[in-house]
Chain A
């Protein structure tokens, strides 16, 4: 376990370093003078004349070797100095952090809904494999995969906001604003989670130790509660993390449609407006968080399924 811990932490650090280095290089590989671009993200006023650019470049160390610049940039980044947005001319960190908070709450609520819905559905479908309930659940949840967010979101707005006037159609002002975007975001994870829980249950039911449990006197229900359901849910932990990490940057469509000032929206705007510092800040934060979450999920998986840690330690 300790070997694993060390290895995973090393991988985590390596992934963050590698991706942040790629992000760091953006000003150098995009068209235009990197020095001017970087100065614009560091100095509030507009700088036009070459001599000032030269002087500022010198004082900001923009002529140092790239690795030196990279680590200086990274150091500043993680101490909260992500530079100035090219567009709004305000510190990037002041835009990224609120957006991150909004997206986190949106994703947590969406995945919360997904888990609450898919657990019972998957368990029932798996236990009654091939039965009517299984067919109904599988058909309905699988159909969610075929409902893209850009189609579903307007539909939900049409019905619940415009026709029924139950919920706000867009924005991020009241608690109820979260409902429609979260539901939209939850549908596809629901179908994936349900099918993962279902097949986890089927595998767990077929395991040979289940008959041994019956043979030592556990009733059918006790066996399912103690040995089938806990084992069947293990695969969900990994899938959950993958979705969590994916939705952090992948909620763009929902955020744009519902006009939510979250991370997806922020990255979208940054790219559309070529706002390099904003894009850099957003991407590195999302990547770091995503890697951290999947690593956490791996640890969790090892705790839930000790055989995995034994086999790979």
Chain B
């Protein structure tokens, strides 16, 4: 099996601009798991796209070489490139669901590389599709094959994407943040899958990520990239164990969310938010009814028609508490958040907000911070217009007072108020997530519900947002409910942990107790799937066993 060798690769758009990649060199040998890490915009993805010769316009390879065995990829003719793309060089993408043609079934997708690279068509190809789906962990391959991409969960879509890459019998797999959109349990499942293929097929893997915990667990070697340059490289133990550059230390620090002093405090005092036996049904008769009746629930991704999204959930958020709510995708976390702020009606039970004097607080006392910052603003409105809307509605302030309130809120989240004149498209994800928090603070809430508020962000940005939330908690006495699938965030931020599983609250306990002895079976799964960053020895242990 050949190796992938990149030497002195420099990529830039125009001669006057600084290079996107600058003299990048790396090697991936057969059977090797190589990690390429760095913050967003560091050039990791462009490295992968250079290898496939699929750089977006107007980027060009200025100098350097990419070789796959004896083949010079940089000078290969287009027909040769089409043979190696998806053939000898497989690729996985960050947002698997967006990487499928929404109008074609998984079977049609898988048959493309089979035809192009293995010469299989018709019946034999159909058989091979099912084999591949089984290999990547589809329990019902027949269903998976006839499904359309939108019917798959994120984890299933990434498995299907892996099957598609494997269909071309690759020698090298370029995995561009294949798990950053997935929760921890799915992440480790996908990485286990890749690692298994590495062992069975001698697949060389270039794993691009900003998640150092998974690197520690799986990679043989690590390359750290910053601003288009490789700043550090070596074995995983060497780079993560004794980092030489400040940038690597910063990355490590950002992903190393250790318990803080906050998390030792057991919250006392009155409850600001009390949920009693909250039940939420979607359907039947509304959304799921027909599907269920005709036995099509599963096919249309509307399974679990008879299971409520929230089933008799009772919990109380204490004043000044940071409560973590954990659960896998589909466990009812987001429904809970939406129900609490009233975006979703509940089918049973009650949700009460209580003020200091015991009276019921106004609805605006509980605010929600949304998951995808870019999706939670109107792209055509300036941020000022978006943020002013709730003030107009609720606060009854003069225009000058409103403007002042906006300025203050922006300063509170450490942003320049001149950002207010921009539109969402002109801001980075981290900036926008701060604006979402500023928006939530405008109406002076007592409780902030953060629904996966940092999961779309890279580790460095996530860290700054978490620090901001901790400061707001300290200075304003805010109570926080942090909904996440990220165990590290919980360990770093929360005093108590609630675990949702299939719509039920299965565990509610202090954070340190939770990590020490998780009670419920699902909690144990969550805790063991959270790959601790300190576990640098993990890879070695697995190699020995």
The distance in angstroms between the C-alpha atoms of A311 and B301, with both chains bound, is 10
Q: Does A219 contact B (CB under 8 A)?
A: yes
Interface residues of A in 172-220 (CB under 8 A from B): 207-209, 211-219
Contact B102 A306 (CB under 8 A): yes
How many A residues have CB within 8 A of the partner chain? Answer: 28
Q: Does A234 contact B (CB under 8 A)?
A: yes
Min CB distance A308 to B, Å, is: 9
CB within 8 Å for A212 and B99 given contacts A2-B294, A217-B85 = yes
A313 — which chain B residues lie within 8 A by C-beta?
290-291, 300, 302
Contact B290 A219 (CB under 8 A): no
Interface residues of A in 2-46 (CB under 8 A from B): 2-3, 6
B90 — which chain A residues lie within 8 A by C-beta?
216
The distance in angstroms between the C-alpha atoms of A212 and B162, with both chains bound, is 12
Contact with B116, one of A1, A217, A234 (Cβ below 8 angstroms): A217
Q: Does A75 contact B (CB under 8 A)?
A: no
Contact B102 A212 (CB under 8 A): no
Contact A305 B102 (CB under 8 A): yes
B78 — which chain A residues lie within 8 A by C-beta?
219
Contact B102 A216 (CB under 8 A): no
Mask of B49-90 contacts with A, CB within 8 angstroms, 1/0: 000101000000000000000000000001100111111001
CB within 8 Å for A216 and B95 given contacts A209-B100, A231-B101, A307-B148 = no
Q: Does A230 contact B (CB under 8 A)?
A: yes
Interface residues of B in 347-365 (CB under 8 A from A): none
B52 — which chain A residues lie within 8 A by C-beta?
214-215
Contact A212 B100 (CB under 8 A): yes
A218 — which chain B residues lie within 8 A by C-beta?
82, 86, 112, 116
Q: Does B103 contact A (CB under 8 A)?
A: yes
Q: Does A56 contact B (CB under 8 A)?
A: no
The distance in angstroms between the C-alpha atoms of A67 and B181, with both chains bound, is 59
Output the nearest chain B residue to A6 by Cβ-Cβ distance. B290
Min CB distance B187 to A, Å, is: 20
A3 — which chain B residues lie within 8 A by C-beta?
289-291
B95 — which chain A residues lie within 8 A by C-beta?
208
Q: Does A65 contact B (CB under 8 A)?
A: no
The distance in angstroms between the C-alpha atoms of A304 and B52, with both chains bound, is 31
A310 — which chain B residues lie within 8 A by C-beta?
148, 150-151, 300-301
Contact B103 A306 (CB under 8 A): yes
Contact B103 A234 (CB under 8 A): yes
Contact B99 A208 (CB under 8 A): yes
Contact A216 B291 (CB under 8 A): no
Output the nearest chain B residue to A210 by Cβ-Cβ distance. B101
Q: Does A227 contact B (CB under 8 A)?
A: yes
Min CB distance A1 to B, Å, is: 8
CB within 8 Å for A217 and B150 given contacts A212-B93, A306-B103 = no
Min CB distance B125 to A, Å, is: 14
Contact B168 A216 (CB under 8 A): yes
Q: Does B250 contact A (CB under 8 A)?
A: no
The distance in angstroms between the C-alpha atoms of A212 and B102, with both chains bound, is 13
CB within 8 Å for A217 and B148 given contacts A208-B98, A209-B100, A304-B103 = no
Interface residues of B in 118-166 (CB under 8 A from A): 148-151, 161, 164-165
Min CB distance A311 to B, Å, is: 7
Min CB distance A217 to B, Å, is: 3
B324 — which chain A residues lie within 8 A by C-beta?
none
Q: Does B113 contact A (CB under 8 A)?
A: yes
The distance in angstroms between the C-alpha atoms of A217 and B100, with both chains bound, is 14
Min CB distance A204 to B, Å, is: 9
Contact B150 A214 (CB under 8 A): no
Output the nearest chain A residue to B108 by Cβ-Cβ distance. A226
Q: Does B117 contact A (CB under 8 A)?
A: yes
Min CB distance A74 to B, Å, is: 29
A230 — which chain B residues lie within 8 A by C-beta?
103
The distance in angstroms between the C-alpha atoms of A311 and B287, with both chains bound, is 10
CB within 8 Å for A214 and B101 given contacts A2-B290, A3-B290, A310-B301 = no
The distance in angstroms between the C-alpha atoms of A207 and B116, with both chains bound, is 22
Contact A231 B103 (CB under 8 A): yes
Q: Does B91 contact A (CB under 8 A)?
A: yes
The distance in angstroms between the C-alpha atoms of A230 and B101, with both chains bound, is 10
The distance in angstroms between the C-alpha atoms of A217 and B164, with both chains bound, is 11
B113 — which chain A residues lie within 8 A by C-beta?
216-217
A305 — which chain B residues lie within 8 A by C-beta?
102-103
A226 — which chain B residues lie within 8 A by C-beta?
112
Interface residues of A in 203-251 (CB under 8 A from B): 207-209, 211-219, 226-227, 230-231, 234
**Other CB < 8 Å A-B pairs besides A214-B85, A313-B300, 15 of them?**
A2-B294, A211-B54, A213-B101, A214-B52, A215-B85, A215-B86, A216-B86, A217-B83, A217-B84, A217-B116, A217-B168, A306-B150, A311-B150, A313-B290, A313-B302
